[in-house]
Amino acid sequence: MEGKVVLKVEGLNKSFGPTKAVVDMHLEIHPGEIHGLIGENGSGKSTVTSMIAGCLKPDSGVMIMNGKRHEPKSMLEGRASGICMLLQEKGTINHLTISENIYLGEENQFSKGGIVNRRRMNQAARKVLESIDLGHVEPSHLIDELSFEDRKLVEAGMAMKEDPKILIVDETTTALSQKGREVLYRIMSQMKEKEKSVIFISHDLDELKQVCDRVTVMRDGAYITTLSGEEITVDAMRHHMIGRDFSDGYYRVDYEDNYDHDTVMLEVDHVNLGKALKDVSLQLHKGEILGIGGLTDCGMHDLCKVIYGLVKPDSGEVRLPQKEITIRNSTQAAENGMGYVPKDRELEGLMMAASIRDNINLMSMDKVKKGFLITSGSTRKLAEEQVDMLRIKIGGLELPVSSLSGGNKQKVSIAKCMANDVQIFIMDCPTRGIDIGVKAAIYCLLEQFKAQGRAILMISEELPELLGMADNLLIMKDGEITAHIRRSPEVSEHDVIVKMI
């Protein structure tokens, strides 16, 4: 459908205080295409799509959809015009049922005399769930019971029941396993077949190359270029994103056995947790990066929560041998030099409505108080130190952390731990949904932590990351540790995948 345009964006601008998030942005979306939108964290991608969807109002510029001015004042107006958006982070509401989430604000279609017929609503919700391969899920159950991945798929079903003309997918695939990704790819292919359009934001450049017809690159809020067809290569996208060539060598280059084998910082001893964990034991040493990999439901994410004291195991112990302490809860873990960077940073890692300063200081109140007082000067100083050290891009310390890009939110999660001088890091998918520039910065941090003698337990769903950074790699399957792979240039992704499945 080259030549036809379903959506045209001309000269779009958006600022948040002194921060110019989008500058004179131009974009054309054709019917029947999957159009990638890429750039480093903070480049303006989500801000542009939020304006298109009606979440944000542009400061200036024009949007034209099917030949008419497109000026949605809310997400509801955006949906009414045919635009639906899947967000990177959670877009469902706790303590409501799955069907209540799917039909939130649309209950009237199931009501008579002001009383909602929940049986009919559940029946309709079941059809939505079947369309996203979740037919086994009971729509009358609370959404809280679903995994993060299944909640994202529910959001996809919620969007598709609106029969959108344009579907915006903002980093959603980073939260999904391969099975979940295939469901979303199928939805995107169906949109394309029906001559509808997809705007696809992702940091997975191989994924973009595989699924996109065209890719538009942004940098510092501005349009850089649009690639199409054979122009869409990983090297080309990287080059345009960061304005320079970026070699693949941002992982560790050493293969030496260079951690302290004699000093065990953390010990997990025969831990069991329902069906999730079965007799799990491991040791984490001083200066070691211990990787844990497996399929999404292998138990590795549950293990993080048990180790940090957020979930009590049915049996077994988590110990800090150097301090002769058994971890009973997360408060005790934090007080004894442990830090947890969760996979779902917005729900579990940060207080989204609180300021950047308060989030960074969250674990360090004892450190900054003078006597019984905590002064604004001391909290500001500590926050500024972390912002400078981690190079976090902010508009100001008093802005809510929700104002930051995904990569900078992740840096705040790490800064919160660093401010408390954490010696044992539990990192669950530390680079989920962040661009190659911030990934490289986090890998550099991990190497620094290792050199400083800190211990890092890194759970990841990305094999290149595990092979590139870990001294030792443990493979989990069905709640058990089934393999131990030592760092070596000879180990391939295929070797690991065989042990995972």
Question: Which one of 3.90.180.10, 2.120.10.90, 3.20.20.70, 3.40.50.300 gives the CATH number of domain 263-337+434-501?
Answer: 3.40.50.300
Give the pLDDT score at 76.
87
- Are the C-beta atoms of residues 355 and 399 closer than 8 Å to each other? yes
User: Could you give the strand order of the β-sheet that contains 34-38, starting from the edge strand earlier in sequence?
Assistant: 83-86, 166-170, 197-201, 34-38, 214-219, 222-228
CATH class of 7-242: alpha beta
Global model pTM greater than 0.85: no
Phi, psi angles (nearest 5°) of residue 14: -155, 130
Q: Which residue has the higher pLDDT, 52 or 203?
A: 52
- pLDDT per residue as tens digits for the range 251-272: 888 998 899 999 999 999 999 9
Distance CA 112, CA 411 (A): 50
Rounded Cα distance, 352 and 371, in Å = 29
Computed over every residue of the chain, the mean pLDDT equals 89
- Per residue in 424-473, pLDDT (tens digit) is 999 999 888 777 777 888 898 899 999 999 999 999 988 889 999 999 99
Q: How confident is the model at residue 420 (pLDDT cuts 50, 70, 90)?
A: confident
Strand, coil or helix: what is 271?
strand
**What pLDDT does 461 receive?**
85
pLDDT value, residue 220:
83
Task: Tokens for 214, please give them.
Answer: 């065209």
Please enumerate in sequence order all residues whose Cβ is within 8 A of that of 238, keeping only pairs 6 or more positions apart, or say none: 205, 245, 246, 436
Q: Which residues contact 370 (CB under 8 A, 6 or more apart)?
A: 378
**pLDDT over threshold 50, residue 316:** yes
Q: Cα–Cα distance between 163 and 195 in angstroms, integer?
A: 12
* pLDDT tier at 344, thresholds 50, 70, 90: confident
DSSP letter for 105, please.
T
Query: How would residue 1 be classed by pLDDT, with cut points 50, 70 and 90?
Result: very low
96-105 pLDDT, tens digit each: 999 999 998 8
Q: 387: pLDDT confidence band, cut at 50, 70 and 90?
A: very high
Q: Please state, in angstroms and rounded to a whole number, the distance separating the CA atoms of residues 287 and 305.
A: 22
Give the residue from 47, 21, 13, 49 showing the smallest Cα distance to 197: 49
Instruction: For residue range 4-56, list pLDDT tens digits in order.
Output: 899 999 999 999 877 788 999 999 999 999 999 998 877 889 899 999 999 99
Say yes or no: do domains 7-242 and 263-337+434-501 share a fold. yes
Closest CA to 405 of 24, 47, 14: 47
Taking the C-alpha atoms of residue 338 and residue 266, their distance in angstroms, rounded to an integer, is 10
| pLDDT for the residue 403 | 86
pLDDT of residue 152: 86
Specify burial of residue 171 (Cβ count, 10 A radius: 0-12, 13-18, 19+): buried
pLDDT of residue 104: 87
Residues linked to residue 481 through DSSP beta bridges, in sequence order = 476
Decide if 98 contacts 87 (C-beta within 8 A): no
| pLDDT value at residue 88 | 63
Domain boundaries, given as residue ranges, for the chain = 7-242, 263-337+434-501, 349-422
For residue 120, with 0-12 CB atoms within 10 Å meaning exposed, 13-18 middle and 19 or more buried, which class applies? middle
What is the 8-class DSSP label of residue 400? B
Amino acid at site 353: A
Q: What is the pLDDT of residue 289?
A: 97
272/477 Cα distance (integer angstroms): 14
